Amino acid sequence: MSTIKTPIIFIVGPSGAGKSDAAFETAQRLGGEIVSCDAMQVYREVSVACDKPSLDTRKKIPHHMLDVVSVTQEFNAAVFRQLALAAIMEIRGRGKTPIVCGGSGMYMAFLLDGIFEVSAKDEGLRRRLQEEIHEQGTSVLHGRLAALDPAAAAKIHPHDAQRIVRGLEVALTVGRPLSEVQKERQGLWGQVPLRVFGLDRPRKELYERVEARVEQMFEHGLVDEVRALSGRTLSRTACAIIGIPEVTGYLKGEYDLARAKYLMKLNTRHYVKRQLTWFRRDQRVQWVEAGTEMPL
């Protein structure tokens, strides 16, 4: 890992918290550059739905990890980590401060902790385990995982079938517990100077802000943006952008515009709740009241 002393600042939190403004102000204060940590801002053809920073903002402060791929291409956390780390190290190499800003908790975790890249895959074994879960229930296989890998089982909910199957697949294929293999990951945490700030707002205020933002997105051309994507085969990850399925339903005549707005607001609130759950459980996040200066 680089020995350059330039710190890395993370500004994370749920949608509507004000991360982009906080990152911009911090970048101006420190002479830094912003690295987006958003799973959807990587797509070139989508700006309104992803609430990308304006072109004027990007002219004032360099932004990285925006407009990386087309909506027809798959994108995942492993690719993000590779590209984002390269951007972070390039910024530090120039003596600037990288400010990683976004609400994608998994992407943040992959930067901080590294990625679990074991190649243990056995499709036949996985299918058998999935069949056993269907026949016996998740609790039985969770118990089996607990016998093979107590540390991993303690972190996996007894009803989380996907992670239970993956834990058993690794343990039975590699011959080593998943929890042991995962310790070999290496990320930025503990390797370079960094701070992780989470923007805090009352839940009610967050919901009000994201609902107001949805209204603004429709005013700023969300429907036209989604309409322009029609006829293209979107990747699985691009299809997950909040706004695309809701507006697509409207364009297909399945419901009216008011219903599309309602669904988008509902799904955004649910996303905010998941984001808060993710970031709250990470003890490394230092929570800061939104609207206040980062305590650097």
Q: Check residue 181 and give its pLDDT.
A: 67
Per residue in 69-97, pLDDT (tens digit) is 999 999 988 899 999 999 999 999 999 99
- Top CATH class of 204-276 equals mainly alpha
> Are residues 165 and 144 in contact, defined by beta-carbon separation less than 8 angstroms?
no
d(CA 59, CA 205): 30
Query: 1-5, 134-138, 229-233 — which is least confidently predicted?
Result: 1-5
Spell out where the chain has E strands.
8-12, 32-36, 63-64, 97-102, 194-200, 286-289
Cα(142)–Cα(158) distance, rounded to whole angstroms? 6
Maximum pairwise Cα distance, the chain? 58
Asked whether residue 3 carries a pLDDT value surpassing 50, the answer given is no
Hey, which residues does 289 pair with through a beta bridge? 200
11: three-class secondary structure by DSSP: strand
Euclidean distance between CA atoms 77 and 83, whole angstroms: 10
> Has residue 280 got a pLDDT over 80?
yes
Among left, alpha and beta (phi > 0; psi -120 to 50; other), residue 232 is beta
Helix (H, G, I), strand (E, B) or coil at 13: coil
The phi, psi pair for 210, rounded to 5°, reads -70, -30
Question: Looking at the domain covering 123-182, what would its CATH class be?
Answer: mainly alpha
What is residue 1's predicted lDDT score, i.e. its pLDDT?
44
- Helix, strand or coil, per DSSP, at residue 14: coil
Nearest by Cα to 10 from 86, 88, 114, 77 = 88
* Tens-place pLDDT, residues 168-193: 988 888 777 877 766 666 789 988 99
Query: Residue 21 carries which side chain, given as an amino acid letter?
Result: D
Give the start-to-end residue ranges of the domains of the chain. 8-116+186-201+279-289, 123-182, 204-276
Number of H helices, E strands in the chain: 13, 6
Share of the chain above pLDDT 70, in %: 95
What's the pTM value of the predicted model, to 2 decimals? 0.80
CATH class name, domain 8-116+186-201+279-289: alpha beta
- For 247-261, how does the pLDDT look when each residue is reduced to its tens digit (9 = 90+)? 999 999 999 999 999
Tens-digit pLDDT profile for residues 97-141: 999 999 999 999 999 988 765 555 778 888 899 999 989 999 999
Query: Given the DSSP bridges, would you call strands 286-289 and 32-36 parallel, antiparallel or unpaired?
Result: unpaired
